[in-house]
């Protein structure tokens, strides 16, 4: 299905062709008490629709449905949500950058390591370019509006930390300055 499945009606009636009867209402109530949300349950049904449709008329359907929801639906207190929202926030900020503007970015691997400082009118594309061929996921630490001249000033400021090209050693001075930038405005990505 091409549309987003976010409600019980979308999931049960639209995807599975199943009426929401008392047994399903009871199951939904139990799942919600366990911390599952309507969107997460609906997503689970959409994700496993082929399997669920195969068991639609089987007396084990509700049990299989519960198992699939528990497999794919994260409860409200699941720690994976923290990482999900962090990545979504980063993605949203990259999407909302102003067209035609130039940006200075600070990019680093998710486990640390060298920091790339550069200039781009499209930091999202630049992140993808830098990611190519790297086994570790790169992330944007910070973005701010700027120019090539701004980048050159930063290169001069951090010349003692420069490794090669756009890559800099993540020493205390550089990390402290990035933290200061994050605290004092701009488009932060943490």
DSSP 8-class letter at 162: E
pLDDT number for residue 3: 64
Are 134 and 180 within one domain? yes
**pLDDT tens digits, 83-132:** 788 777 767 777 777 778 899 999 999 889 999 999 999 998 899 999 99
Sign of CA dihedral 170, 172, 175, 177: negative
Are 14 and 106 within one domain? no
Indicate yes or no: pTM above 0.85. no
**pLDDT tens digits, 163-188:** 999 999 999 889 888 888 877 754 43
* List of long-range contacts for 17-20, beta carbons under 8 Å, 24+ apart: 17/56, 18/56
Which residue reads 């609906």 in tokens? 42
The DSSP string of 48-109 is: THHHHHHTTTSTTHHHHHHHHHHHHPPPTT-THHHHHHHHHHHHHHHHTSPTT--EEEEEEE
Are 156 and 95 within one domain? yes
Among residues 72, 100, 118, which one ends one of the domains? 72
Domain total for the chain? 2
Are 63 and 117 within one domain? no
Are 99 and 169 within one domain? yes
Question: Are 105 and 158 a contacting pair, CB within 8 Å?
Answer: no
Domain that holds residue 124: 85-188
Question: Are 119 and 102 a contacting pair, CB within 8 Å?
Answer: yes
In a domain, 3, yes or no: no
pLDDT number for residue 89: 75
Are 13 and 35 within one domain? yes
Could you tell me the pLDDT band of residue 1, with boundaries at 50, 70 and 90?
Answer: very low
Sign of CA dihedral 169, 176, 112, 122: negative
Question: Are 48 and 72 a contacting pair, CB within 8 Å?
Answer: yes
Are 125 and 38 within one domain? no
Query: Please, which residues have CB within 8 angstroms of residue 151's CB and are 6 or more apart in sequence?
Result: 104, 117, 118, 119
Cα–Cα separations (whole angstroms), residue 59 to 3, 29, 54, 63, 118: 29, 20, 12, 9, 60
């Amino acid at each position: 299905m091409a549309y987003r499945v976010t409600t019980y009606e979308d999931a049960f009636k639209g995807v599975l062709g199943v009426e929401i009867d008392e047994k399903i209402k009871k199951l939904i109530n139990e799942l919600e008490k366990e911390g599952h949300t309507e969107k997460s349950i609906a997503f689970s049904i959409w994700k496993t629709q082929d399997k669920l449709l195969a068991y639609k008329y089987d007396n084990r359907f509700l049990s299989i449905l519960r198992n699939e929801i528990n497999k794919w639906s994260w409860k409200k207190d699941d720690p994976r949500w923290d990482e999900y929202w962090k990545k979504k926030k980063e993605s949203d900020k990259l999407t909302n950058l102003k067209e035609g503007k130039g940006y200075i970015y600070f990019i680093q691997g998710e486990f640390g390591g060298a920091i790339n400082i550069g200039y781009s009118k499209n930091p999202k594309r630049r992140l993808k370019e830098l990611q190519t061929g790297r086994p570790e996921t790169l992330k944007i630490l910070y973005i701010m509006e700027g120019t090539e001249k701004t980048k050159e000033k930063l290169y001069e400021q951090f010349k003692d930390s420069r490794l090669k090209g756009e890559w800099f050693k993540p020493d205390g001075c550089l990390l402290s300055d990035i933290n200061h930038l994050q605290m004092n405005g701009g488009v932060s990505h943490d």
